[in-house]
């Protein structure tokens, strides 16, 4: 909540403490957890899609499952891009829950967006189906290097540990 409100265009907050204090006073402690279920609902499919895509691509690019930095980077980047694109609607709803953006609030009957169902309805009312994919390019571009680096580091250390275990066993 705090990060996203500080990142908003024309955010009235200049310090984290100002934002925390204002949210606490105006909306209460529950505002900090408003998008908790949406966050979980977004992370579970993101990780599932991410891992399945990575494994699928490794089967294609690296069927022998050898240490191959280029295949790990490429598979990781593509997996992150696919997962990010597929879960963008959930991220849009999470961001709306966290920011309580004024245009969306004005279109909402209750004037307050609580819960994922309310966020999904409001996003659709404000912008239709295409609104669910606002920012998809930025989200994908952000995830590509992140997941490429993460997978290549993971595979590198897995390779090192496995190699060391094999050397240790061979020396016995």
- Cα Dmax for the chain: 72
Range from 5-14, 18-27, 33-42, 59-68 that averages highest in pLDDT: 59-68
The residue ranges of every structural domain in the chain are: 37-171
The CA distance from 151 to 147, in Å, is 6
Sign, Cα dihedral of 103, 105, 106, 107: positive
Q: Residue written as tokens 């994919």?
A: 133
State pLDDT tens for residues 54-69: 999 999 999 999 999 9
Q: Which residue has the higher pLDDT, 171 or 7?
A: 171
60-64: long-range pairs with CB below 8 Å, 24+: none
Both structure tokens of 11: 């955010």
- The token pair that represents 2 in the structure block: 């705090």
**Collapsed DSSP state (helix, strand, coil) of residue 75:** helix
């Amino acid at each position: 909540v705090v990060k996203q409100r500080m990142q908003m265009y024309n955010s009235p907050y200049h310090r984290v403490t100002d934002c925390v204090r204002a949210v606490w006073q105006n909306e209460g402690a529950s505002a900090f957890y408003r998008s908790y279920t949406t966050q979980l609902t977004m992370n579970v499919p993101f990780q599932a899609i991410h891992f399945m895509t990575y494994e699928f691509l490794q089967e294609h690019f690296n069927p022998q499952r050898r240490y191959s930095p280029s295949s790990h980077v490429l598979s990781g980047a593509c997996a992150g891009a696919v997962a990010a694109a597929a879960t963008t609607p959930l991220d849009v709803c999470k961001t709306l829950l966290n920011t309580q953006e004024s245009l969306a609030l004005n279109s909402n009957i209750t004037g307050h967006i609580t819960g994922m169902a309310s966020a999904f309805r409001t996003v659709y009312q404000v912008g239709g189906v295409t609104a669910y994919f606002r920012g998809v390019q930025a989200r994908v571009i952000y995830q590509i290097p992140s997941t490429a680096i993460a997978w290549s580091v993971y595979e590198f250390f897995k390779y090192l540990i496995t190699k060391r275990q094999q050397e240790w066993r061979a020396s016995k």
